Amino acid sequence: MIEMQDVWKTYPNGNAAIQGINVKIDRNEFVYVVGPSGAGKSTFMKMMYREEKPTKGQIFVNGFNLAKLKQRKIPYIRRNIGVIFQDFRLLPQLTIYENVAFAMEVIEAPKKMIRKRTLEVLDLVKLKHKAQSLPSQLSGGEQQRVSIARAIVNNPSVIIADEPTGNLDPETSIGIMKLLEEINLRGTTIVMATHNKDIVNTFRKRVIAIEGGKIVRDQYRGEYGYED
């Protein structure tokens, strides 16, 4: 599903954000990526959906080598990768329905399919009744649920979640985690970066710990091992 082989990422300023990483994430896994600030987590995550390109090494996602992928093919690959951000990134002028439907419109899905699937995922995240609301009319937790609906509307095989509970209170964070668990149980691989040790220690999954651009621990159903 996802595999990195001797992956390095050095930025133009000389910062070696990722150093010789080798890792494999199987289909249907739920994996946390943890580590102190500046450890390289964000770069690690961004390389999985080709927001960043490795300086050296190979990255395979769904059988495609992202390190060698031509720029024009990146949008095609991203159809099978849903991304969830800490800051939601919803379009403020569009309704909740329109924000989610937009992800299908981009790939030119048929209108009937867009309507059916958009309402399905809004129902899954328990926001169908707010389909015509604007993002500004929703709480932070509700906006993150919309972000999740948008990420899954095209039935991706992989979800990359970068601090999805970072701006949420503990109770809301638990609700988001239960939703992500349900999505994972439906067959979607989830890779989630987080600083929230309580979530990692409560919802036990595989933990990949990164420090200084290297994987220093890879443990199944492990505990969070770093302070912020």
Going from N- to C-terminal start, the domains of the chain cover: 26-50+71-219
How many Cβ atoms sit within 10 Å of the Cβ of residue 35? 26
3-state secondary structure of 140: helix
Q: In what order do the strands lie in the sheet with 2-10?
A: 16-25, 2-10, 56-61, 64-65
Residue 227 — very low, low, confident or very high, per pLDDT cuts 50/70/90? Answer: low
- Predicted pLDDT at 225: 73
Are 77 and 64 in contact by the 8 Å Cβ rule? The answer is yes
**β-sheet bridge partners, residue 70:** none
Work out the average pLDDT over 107-120: 95
Residue 149 has pLDDT above 60, yes or no: yes
Who wins on pLDDT, 76 or 165? 165
Measure the CA–CA gap between 15 and 57, rounded to whole angstroms.
Answer: 17
Q: At what angle do helices 140-152 and 170-185 cross, to 10 degrees?
A: 10
Q: What is the CATH number of domain 26-50+71-219?
A: 3.40.50.300
Phi, psi of 193 (to 5 degrees): -85, 140
pLDDT at residue number 224: 81
Instruction: Check pLDDT > 60 for residue 37.
Output: yes
The residues, any chain, with a CB within 8 Å of residue 213's CB and separated by 6 or more, are: 9, 16, 17, 18, 19, 21, 39, 40, 43
